[in-house]
Each structure stands twice: as C-alpha cells, then as structure tokens.
Amino acid sequence: MQRVETRLMDTTERPADDFLDLAKVLLLMQGSILVATTIEAVIWGMAFAGAAATGSLLSFAAAAVILVARARLSADRRWSRRLVYFVEAFTLTFLAVDLVLAIALTGTPPPAVAVLTRFVLPVSVIFLLRQSARATAAAASRGVNPALEGAS
Amino acid sequence: MNLPVEQEHAAGGSPLYQISAEHSAAVFALGLLLVGMWLLRQRGARDLAPSLAPADWLLAGLLAASAAIHAGLAIGQDHATGIRLLFLLDALALGVIARRVLAGAGAGRLGVAVLAASILAYWGSALGGAAPDQVGLATKLGEILALAIVVRPAPSRRGPSLRSVAGSFAIGLLVLGTATSSWVGAFRASAADPGAVAGHHVHAGGVAPPGTVLPVVPEREPTAAERVAAVDLVNTARVALARYADPAVAAADGYRVNGLAGIDFHAANAANENDDRVLDPAHPETLVYAVAPDGRPVLMGAMFLMPKIGAPGPTIGGPLTVWHAHEHVCFSLTPPGLAGLLSPLGMCPVGTIDMPLTAEMIHIWIVPGAPEPFGDLDEAWKRAYLQATATRP
C-alpha cells in the first residue's frame, strides 16, 4: 500500500513540463506516422481503381490535428489537449474493432507494431497529458507558477 | 506478435506482418532485459537515478531494448559473421549510451550518430531485398523515438526555433524512410521467387508479397490427371461464363458492375458469396472485367471464393490450381471498398478497418492464351491482349 502511495506521489510531484515534454515527443512520432499513412493511402488510392478517398482525407486530418495540437500544446491550453484526446479515442476505437476481428478470424492479436503505434502510443499520450494537467492543477492550488516549477 | 503460421494451406503470409524465426534470439534477449529491469526495480534500483525526467527514463529504456535486440541478433546463428559483428558493436554502443543517459550525462552526439547509423543500416538492408519483419520494424521505430527524445529542444516559452523545426522534420523523414524501405524490402524479397506473383504460390524458402497468403507448394510437376482436370476446368468455365461477356447480363444476375473501369475490375455477387457452392464454374463469386482501349468491357475471367475463412480450396489440378488468401487488407466502410494494405507502421488509413485474413480464392482466366490460367495475369500481357482486342473489327 505504502509503495503504491509512494509511486503516486512520484508522478504527481513531477513538474508539468516534464510530462508535456515527453508527450510532445510522442505526438511528433504519432504525427509522422500519420503523415506516412496519408501518403500510403494516397498511393493505394491511385493503385486500386475505386479505392475510397475517405481514408486519405481522414488520415491527413488526423495528422494535421496531432501536429498542430502538438505545436500549440502547453499547460494552459485545454482545447489542444481535447483535440488530441479526440484523435486518440478515434484511433483506439478502430483498434478495438480490428482486435475483435483479428481474434475472431485468426485467433491471434494484430501485429506487434500495430499494437505499439495504435495502442501503446495513444494510451501513453493520454496518460502523459492527464498527468501534466494534474501536475499543473496541483501547482496552481499551491500558488506556484507551473512554468517555473521545474526550474526550482 | 503474429508468429509464423504452419498450416497445410495458406501457409506463406508476408514476413512483414510476422516475427521471423531468425529473430527469436532477439525477442528472447529483449525478454531477458525486461525481466532484469523488473528485478532491479524490485531491489530499489529506481533510486539510482531519481532525478531523471520521464523522457530520459524512456530514452534509457529504448536504448537498452535496442541493445538487447542487437545482442540477440549477434548471438543468433542466422547471419554471416561480419553482420553479427556489426550487431554486436551496435549493441555495445547502444548499451554504453543507455548507461550514460542513466547517469544523467545525456546521449550526446554519440547517441545521435549510433541511432542514425542503426536506422540507415536497416534502410540499406531492406532496400537490398532483405524481408523486414515485426522485430526489425518495432526496433527501428523505437530507435527513431529515442532519436526524437535526444534531439528535442529544451522547454522554452518562446516559439519553436529553426533547429527544433528541422529536428521534427528529420524525425518525420526517418519515419517515412523506414516505411518506404520496408515496403520495398517486402516486395523485393517476394520477387526473388517468381511463383510468388505469377503462380500464386511459393516454394520452400520463398516469401509471399505483403497482403497475400500463398501456400508453400512442393516443386513437382502435375500428374497427367491433374493437367486434364485443370484444362477441363478452364474449358467448362469458358462455356459457362460466355454469357457474362455482356455486363448487362451479369448485372441482371446480381453482379455489381457499376463503375466498371480499369483492367482488373472485380464485380462481386453477394448471393453467390453466400450460396455455399465451391468452385462452381457456372456461379462464380466474382467476375473480372477489363476495359479495352476502345472502351469496350472485356470479360477476362472469374474469381472463386471459399465460403469460410480458413477453409482450404480444392486443388483439383494439383500444383496448377493453387488457392491463395489475402491478409491485413484495409477496408473502408464509408463508402465500402478496398483502401490499401496494413502499413509497416501498423496503420491502416484512418477510418478503415484491418481485415486480418480473407477466405481462400482462385482466379480462372478464360481469355485465350493466358500464360497462367489460375495465377496472376501479367499486366503487360493483359494490356497487349486488350490492345489486340481493340484493333480487331
């Protein structure tokens, strides 16, 4: 019990910028993957006559949202966090569908890289942004400027 | 995650979506590292570097994981001595950098150089025709993430500097280059076995192209009876399908011919897909049309689909009539249709679903002179045939 409490304290006492810093790196990675996915979707669209353009458009939109939100991400910008949460929730929902299909049809989970890029990455980003928001709120309640907290 | 499949039928999926057997030692080494880290943590190793930021913890973990995987590759017996030595050097360098990060010294220029070299070496290997697999891809994505952590700008209240923008752009290029080289590697590796594309089968040691599951067929000639059965099947199909030369007749029988275009248009029939008939030449699940240069639709053949996923198709012509399946095909729901193949980066286009496996299928090409009546019809041959059809009065 004591160990659990210690671990919780370890995270909640981290400066908000530390979590935001790592979240931005993960978002850059995710945005880059989405850009590559958009390019692939466009190429598939040219290769297969009649391939749906929706995938290219949605991939481009997701890449743009992630990269713009990453650039605007800061402790006091709630809308950019909400945009990221929306894209991550969308990604996780489709992964859930794919997971059910994979288990039902082949009895195996999706490939390891798909699990990393579509589960571990989004969940990590959500976790880090939430920790950052909590650390910011905790610092504000103590009357500390979150931007200066890490420098002390 | 997807281990190599060992089935009589549809045994040869692309290594792109699997863990190659030759990378088992690397996976084992990674497992040992994770167990070791858990044991250290239990013994209070967390206090060794309490002041590290989360990004540095992740960086050290990624470097150590990559070092363990490269050490596993060096220990495994599946590569030439020179390559194993390079793996070992990479593992040592990554291990040293991980230790430096844990000590709070940062990865520095050595870290950037080693990570970049490791990623570029992977590109070279894939572009050279080595089949990429899930272990290689996951390792490279981990290394790119590690590099992104190393080159990230210090938190600042000012806007992004030119250096940070350049760094972000470089990370984007590394991700794109890794995906591109992996596609090239996967397709080049399959092209090494001509049967993988033309005959829709692979021989021992060959690999399937991404998205296709091909059975491993022993190298033997078909028997006389198998040859007769295969020829009979094509001739029966020619007679039975002749009426569908007119797409209007096909439409009346339930084939979706709307939007007929290109030289490989598959018109499916939902009723036939659910009628439980197997390889019935009079009731194919899909008709395949091509549009000739003069705009006339030409019936090229038909595609027959097994009623259930995993059910093996009847190979009545032995090695001449080999069935195949497709794996990790991305399907769009809005509107319904094919949207591509699962990317080496693990993504389908956003808003589409990943169909992990389809039912087995076989094509029968009824056009006279088709070089592979049951395999893949060569595009150049198809275009030449259509051109000749168009110039006919």
What pLDDT is stored for residue A52 in this prediction?
63
Instruction: Determine the Cα–Cα distance for residues B183 and A47; give it in Å rounded to an integer.
Output: 15
The partner residues of B364 in beta bridges, in order of sequence, read B302
Q: Which residues of A touch B344 (CB under 8 A)?
A: 113
Amino acid, single-letter form, for residue B312: P
Q: Give A 23-82 residues with CB within 8 A of chain B.
A: 24-26, 28-29, 31-41, 43-45, 48-52, 54-56, 58-59, 61-62, 71
Tokens of B376: 């893949």
Cβ–Cβ contacts within 10 Å for residue B7, how many? 12
Summarised one tens digit per residue, pLDDT across range A71-98 is 888 766 788 899 999 999 999 999 999 9
SS3 assignment, position B329: strand
Torsion angles phi and psi, residue A146, rounded to 5 = -55, -30
**B199 pLDDT above the threshold of 50:** yes
Of B1, B135, B340, the CB nearest to A44: B340
Range ranked top by mean pLDDT from A69-73, A145-149, B333-337: A69-73
Percentage of chain B modeled with pLDDT above 90: 60
- Cβ-contact B322, B268 below 8 angstroms: no
What pLDDT is stored for residue B106 in this prediction?
86
- Å from B168 to nearest chain A CA? 7
Of A37, A43, A54, the CB nearest to B332: A54
Burial class (CB in 10 A: 0-12, 13-18, 19+), B369: exposed
Tokens of B24: 């088992």
Of B1, B18, B336, the CB nearest to A109: B1
Section B347-359 average pLDDT: 93
- Cβ-contact B1, B134 below 8 angstroms: yes
Instruction: Determine the Cα–Cα distance for residues B204 and B220; give it in Å rounded to an integer.
Output: 12
Which residue does chain B place closest to A45, by CA atoms?
B339
Which residue does chain A place closest to B152, by CA atoms?
A25
Torsion angles phi and psi, residue B370, rounded to 5 = -60, 125
Confidence of residue B214 (pLDDT cuts 50, 70, 90): confident
Beta-carbon pairs below 8 A across chains A and B: 204
- Å from B171 to nearest chain A CA? 7
Tell me which DSSP letter residue B334 carries: T
Q: Tell me the whole-structure pTM to 2 decimals.
A: 0.86
- Cβ-contact B94, B67 below 8 angstroms: yes
Instruction: Determine the Cα–Cα distance for residues A143 and B254; give it in Å rounded to an integer.
Output: 71
What pLDDT is stored for residue B198 in this prediction?
55
What pLDDT is stored for residue A145 in this prediction?
59
Note every long-range contact of B266-275, with CB atoms under 8 Å and residues 24 or more positions apart, other chains counting.
Answer: B266/B303, B273/B305, B273/B307, B274/B307
Least confident of A87-101, B73-87, B182-196, B249-263: B182-196
The partner residues of B353 in beta bridges, in order of sequence, read B331
Q: CB contact, 8 Å: A147 with chain B?
A: yes
- Cβ-contact B256, B267 below 8 angstroms: yes
Q: Which residues of B touch A113 (CB under 8 A)?
A: 134, 137-138, 141, 344-346
Cβ–Cβ contacts within 10 Å for residue B190, how many? 26
Instruction: Determine the Cα–Cα distance for residues B367 and B279; give it in Å rounded to an integer.
Output: 18
- Cβ-contact B329, B211 below 8 angstroms: yes
Instruction: Determine the Cα–Cα distance for residues A101 and B302; give it in Å rounded to an integer.
Output: 28
Of B54, B168, B349, the CB nearest to A22: B54
- Cβ-contact B217, B203 below 8 angstroms: yes
Torsion angles phi and psi, residue B135, rounded to 5 = -65, -45
- Cβ-contact B342, B349 below 8 angstroms: no
Which of B17, B62, B345 to substitute to test the interface with A, most A CBs within 10 Å?
B345
- Å from A123 to nearest chain B CA? 15
B160 CB contacts (<8 Å, ≥6 apart)? A71, B153
Pairing of strands B297-305, B286-291: antiparallel
Per this entry, what is the length of chain B? 393
- Cβ-contact B338, B330 below 8 angstroms: yes
Least confident of A65-79, A106-120, B38-52, B366-380: B38-52
- Å from A49 to nearest chain B CA? 7
Nearest to B364 by CA among B248, B285, B256: B285
Of B138, B349, B356, the CB nearest to A55: B349
Q: Which residues of B touch A61 (CB under 8 A)?
A: 350
Tell me which DSSP letter residue B179 carries: H
Section B23-28 average pLDDT: 92
Helix (H) or strand (E) holding A55, with range, is helix A54-72
Which residue does chain B place closest to A71, by CA atoms?
B160
Summarised one tens digit per residue, pLDDT across range A22-66 is 999 999 999 999 999 999 999 988 877 656 688 899 999 999 999
Instruction: Determine the Cα–Cα distance for residues B185 and B178; give it in Å rounded to an integer.
Output: 10
CB contact under 8 A, B346 and A115: yes
Q: What is the ipTM of this complex?
A: 0.86
Per this entry, what is the length of chain A? 152
Q: Which residues of B touch A19 (CB under 8 A)?
A: 54
Of A37, A43, A50, the CB nearest to B347: A37
